Structure 1
Amino acid sequence: MVLDRSLVAAKNGDLLVLQELQRKGLIQERVTDHLGASPVHHAARCGKLSALKFLVEEAKLPGNKKAKNGATPAHDAAATGNLLCLQWLLASGGCNTQDKDSSGATVLHLAAWFGHQDITDWLLKGGGCDPTAATDTGALPVHYAAAKGDLPSLRLLLGHCPDVVNTQMKNGATPLYLASQEGHLEAVQYLVKECGADPHLRANDGMTALQSAAQMGHNTVIVWLVSFSNISLSDQDDEGATALHFAASRGHAKVLSWLLLHGGEIVTDNWGGTPLHDAAENGELECCQILVVNGVDLTVRDRDGYTSADLAEYNGHSQCAKYLKTVENMSVEHRVLSRDPSVDLEYKQIDSGLSSPNTTLSSQQQARFDSGSPSSTLSNYDSCHSSQSSTREKRSSRQGPGQGPATVREMDTYIHMLNPEESQQKGKAAEGTALPPPPTFPAPTPPVTSDPTPPPPTYPAPTPPEVNPTSEKNVAAKSHLRHSENETPKRHELNLNEINPNRLRRVESNRKSRSFNKEPSTADYYKSLGNDAEEKSGMAPNEEVSLLYDTSKTLIQK
């Protein structure tokens, strides 16, 4: 997009061009970009204080003109971290600290959102900003700082107004909830330990801070919350979902394993679905394997009558469906200790104490578990190796007489590990002794037969079996329930208005997907700030700071 000359000159802080345009009458209030930002906005966001003063004082442009989203030039200066421009606009440009954009955000919200601690500090101490001002969604500046994990800004805001630590937005999210959802461990620790944030407060849909962390896969936050608070792994939201449901639905295998190893219970939600239903419905194969080896019941049907294999198959996740249908008829022991070689799947090492022993990973890889908990690592390591050792014993007991030499070789290797010097001497003695040549025997003569080969016997044609009407009904019902892989419809190929009610997926169900992001957001107007290369170069220090920096550098060199 080609900008007007006055916008480009304001962005670059080119006073000579601005003065020339002013003499020609080309600097006008109606000149804006596609988002409604005037030359004053561009000068403020790029830290060009001299150009900003010229445009307002000489060119007579309004210093508080609003863009399409209601942002004043002061909002732009706060969002881009230009403190001197912000101070001048609030003192002489006609802007006010209580001015709000179309979403209800003030300059303090934007300073907290974009992590400008110097602006936040000045607005709280000398700018007269209200830290309890809320946006249209009920978000305070502390919510923005927590969602960004900006610990210095959190300290400033809560140090100035500590009573807002448990304030909930309109969707029920607290600062702790947002910090957990975004995985900011230091912010979570600060809010709980130093500010007394309540980890049990729930959002409007019943989700806790722990469940929001499980949904996004932040295992370090989960480990800390469980270790240093009395929050329960069994808490359910309004839909009956636990942290296991959220982790399984998003494919967070490490989080799922840690929750299972530390007491997470596999329960059904209000729709009758287990975490395995969520994992299968979204095609998360590794999570399906973890839940299967931990003993989840594959025969559980939800309120609509469908198993996890049904949902995986219908949604086009053929690998998950094939795996689940293969292990459906296995016992729990066989699911853990065996694999069906006919299943053509790319198995992965499951991060669980009940992992299958048939793996090619090294012991160091098996013992590694990124949970932040030493007990988790040790329990995972011991259980993996105990299951593998027991499996080796079972296999050795089934070995036939022809497998003896392998056992001897294993014993020789073990003796060599105990006494390498003795094994080296044996090796040298064996090298000095020549082996005798193998014996030779004459080739056997073929038997002489005079009788020709007898003809094959003849048998009567088999009679067809009697048809059992009950079995025919069962086969028809099963084929109607599960489509073959070639006929499995993909989700994007379905016309929701023409779906047969006999299909597997509950199209008209009110069940929601496990995705509830409650992060406070700003308009696209602010997200676009700084995307231009020219803006990036001008956004960092403003003119006065650059001048001071250059002067100090010159003095140091002298």
Structure 2
Amino acid sequence: MEGELASGSWLGEIGFWAARTPVHEAARRGEILQLQELIANGACVNLITTDSITPLHEASLQGQTQCVKLLLAAGAQVDARNIDGSTPLCDACASGSIECVKVLLSHGAKVNPPLYTASPLHEACMNGSSECVQLLIDVGANLEAHDCHFGTPLHVACAREHLDCVKSLLNAGANVNAAKLHETALHHAAKVKNVDLVEMLVAFGGNIYARDNQGRKPSDYTCRSSPTAKCLESYEKTPLSLAQLCRISLRRAASQQGLKIAKLNIPLRLMKYLSYN
């Protein structure tokens, strides 16, 4: 075991376990001069704490962009994982720091790391940073990444009522009817009683009749006579128009082909019609 630790193979080429070091503290607090001095004096930037947190995790979670740059320049591992499996990019997205996200991506951070927990896109949706969400989408983030607790990024964005994030995901082709224990994003929208969210999801083909693992429809999670209940009831009683059905069909076809609406070779007027504004 000792030999494995020394070679770094057991820890994925990360250094020995340690208590929190001055490098961790300087990175977390954004103390650039202190961090520069520590690195110049030979401090290891890849030491991990007992919960596998590196200084780069600390700097990323606090949005300390300059510290992130210093650590990476000194050899910090860009895709190191903490005890929860999260990478520095996950932490930067959780902080909502678009600059940290850009720096990490420019140094090769994986936008779709092989995680068994929330992905960077999940974290950006939790934070509600639509700018981070759009950046991750643009560099190829998996829209259908699934977390056993949260479901897809769309589930997260709806549960947190981040409408701009929801709009970005749907316009990029996220599956509006993706299920977590048979629960869809529309179930989340009904639970948080957000009419605007319900209308957006239905416009993208959200199934108002979908039933979760308890056999309940989205409308079953609303209070009778509430605006959300009335909205869902109206959709249940009124068939979608031909124009709405055509729009949903085109979006679905584009999604199945792995295409984004913005990348389809179609007239600008039609593209605006297909996108949700």
Q: Which residue of structure 2 lines up, in the alignment, with residue 196 of structure 1?
A: 108
Residue 214 in structure 1 maps to residue 148 in structure 2: no
TM-score of the pair, normalised by structure 2: 0.77
C-alpha distance 217-152 of structure 1, shift in aligned 2 (>3 A)? same
Matched, 1:286 2:199: no
- How far apart, CA to CA, are the structure 2 residues paired with 1:130 and 1:183? 27
Cα deviation, 1:149-202, whole Å, max 9, x if unaligned, reads: 22211121111124x211100011100111122222222122112x21111114
**In the aligned structure 2, how far is the partner of 1:199 from the partner of 1:149?**
18
Cα distance change, pair 251–336 in 1 and its aligned pair in 2 (3 A)? farther
**C-alpha distance 335-381 of structure 1, shift in aligned 2 (>3 A):** closer
Give the conservation status (yes or no) of the 8 Å contact 1:240–1:269: no
How much does 1:245 deviate?
1.0
Of 64, 78, 86 in structure 2, the residue corresponding to residue 173 of structure 1 is: 86
Bigger CA radius of gyration: 1
Mapped to 2, the partners of 1:118 and 1:147 lie a distance apart of 19
The C-alpha deviation readout for 1:392-424, integer Å capped at 9, x for no partner, is xxxxxxxxxxxxxxxxxxxxxxxxxxxxxxxxx
Counterpart AA for 2:160: R
Is 1:383 the counterpart of 2:269? The answer is no
Distance in 2 (CA, whole Å) between partners of 1:273 and 1:250 is 15
Matching residue within 97, 111, 117 for 2:32? 117
Distance 1:384 1:191, change over 3 A: closer
Change (3 A) 1:380 1:262: farther
User: Which residue in 1 is equivalent to 2:230?
Assistant: 322
Deviation above 3 Å: which 4+ runs of structure 1?
Answer: 334-337, 378-382
Distance in 2 of aligned mates of 1:304 and 1:107: 51
Q: 1:106 aligns to what?
A: 21
Shift of 1:282: 1.9
Give the counterpart letter for 2:28 in structure 1: W
Aligned counterparts of 1:379 and 1:117: Cα–Cα separation in 2: 50
1:379–1:109 distance in 2 versus 1, CA, 3 Å: farther
Q: Measure the CA separation in 2 of the matches of 1:260 and 1:380.
A: 17
Q: 1:202 to 1:184 in 2, by over 3 A?
A: farther
- Check whether the contact 1:327–1:335 (CA below 8 A) recurs between aligned residues: no
- C-alpha distance 191-279 of structure 1, shift in aligned 2 (>3 A): same
Contact 2:191–2:222 (CA<8 Å) still a contact in 1?
A: yes
- Which whole-Å CA distance do the structure 1 matches of 2:74 and 2:181 have between them? 45
What residue is the counterpart of 1:184 in the other structure? 97
In the alignment, the residues of structure 2 paired with residue 253 and residue 270 of structure 1 have an alpha-carbon distance, to the nearest angstrom, of: 20
- Once the 2 structures are TM-superposed, how far is the Cα of residue 203 of structure 1 from its aligned partner? 4.2
CA deviation after TM superposition for structure 1 residue 379, in Å: 6.6
Kindly indicate whether the alpha-carbon contact (under 8 Å) linking 2:161 and 2:197 is maintained by their aligned counterparts in 1: yes
Q: CA deviation at 1:121?
A: 0.5
**Residues 1:248 and 1:335: Cα distance change in structure 2 (over 3 Å):** farther
Q: 1:202 to 1:214 in 2, by over 3 A?
A: farther
On the 8 A contact 2:24/2:58 being kept in 1, the answer is yes
Q: Secondary structure at the match of 2:37?
A: helix
Counterpart CA distance in 2 for 1:203 and 1:321 is 37
8 Å contact kept, 2:112–2:142: no
- Cα 1:160–1:151 shift into 2, 3 Å: same
| AA in 1 matched with 2:131 | T
* Structure 2 residue matching 1:332: 3-state secondary structure: coil
Q: Which has the higher contact order (CA 8 A, sep 6+)?
A: 1
Percent identical among aligned pairs is 25
Give the residue type in structure 1 aligned to 2:190. Answer: A
C-alpha contact (below 8 Å) 1:146/1:178 kept by paired residues: yes
Aligned to 1:512: none
Which residue of 2 is the match for residue 223 of structure 1?
134
1:6-17 paired onto structure 2 within 5 Å: none
Separation (CA, whole Å) in 2 of partners of 1:310 and 1:220: 34
2: CA distance, partners of 1:269 / 1:148? 32
* Correspondent of 2:174 among 264, 267, 273: 264
The residue number in structure 2 matching 1:450 is: none
Counterpart Cα distance in 2 of 1:114 and 1:240: 30
Match of 1:134 in 2: 48
CA RMSD of aligned residues (A): 3.1
Residues 177 and 207 of structure 2 are in contact (CA less than 8 Å); yes or no, is this contact kept in structure 1?
Answer: no
Match of 1:303 in 2: 213
Give, as a single letter, the amino acid of the residue that structure 2 aligns with 1:183. Answer: G
Instruction: Give, in angstroms, the shift of residue 240 of structure 1.
Output: 7.5
Match 1:246 to one of 156, 160, 166: 156
Corresponding residue for 1:446? Answer: none
Alignment partner of 1:155 is 2:69: yes
* Partner Cα separation in structure 1 for residue 269 and residue 166 of structure 2: 15
Distance 2:209 2:177 in 1: 14
Three-state SS of the structure 2 residue aligned to 1:143 is helix
- Counterparts in 2 of 1:379 and 1:110: CA distance versus 1, 3 Å: farther
| CA-CA distance at 1:109 after TM superposition | 1.2
* 8 Å contact kept, 1:111–1:120: yes
**Contact persistence 1:146–1:154 (CA under 8 A):** yes
Unaligned segments of structure 2, at least 5 residues: 1-17, 249-261
For residue 110 of structure 1, give the secondary structure of its aligned residue in structure 2.
helix
Tell me, in whole angstroms, the C-alpha distance in 2 between the residues paired with 1:384 and 1:233: 18
Alignment deviations for residues 31-67 of structure 1 (CA, whole Å, 9 cap, x no partner): xxxxxxxxxxxxxxxxxxxxxxxxxxxxxxxxxxxxx
Q: Once the 2 structures are TM-superposed, how far is the Cα of residue 225 of structure 1 from its aligned partner?
A: 1.8
Sort the Cα spacing of 1:310 and 1:169 in 2 relative to 1 into closer, same or farther, 3 A: same
Listed one character per residue, the Cα deviations across residues 479-522 of structure 1 (whole Å, up to 9, x for unaligned) are: xxxxxxxxxxxxxxxxxxxxxxxxxxxxxxxxxxxxxxxxxxxx
Shift of 1:334: 8.6
Number of aligned residue pairs: 243
Paired residue secondary structure (1:328): helix
Distance (Å, rounded) in 1 between the aligned partners of 2:135 and 2:160? 21
3-state SS, counterpart of residue 83 of structure 2 = coil
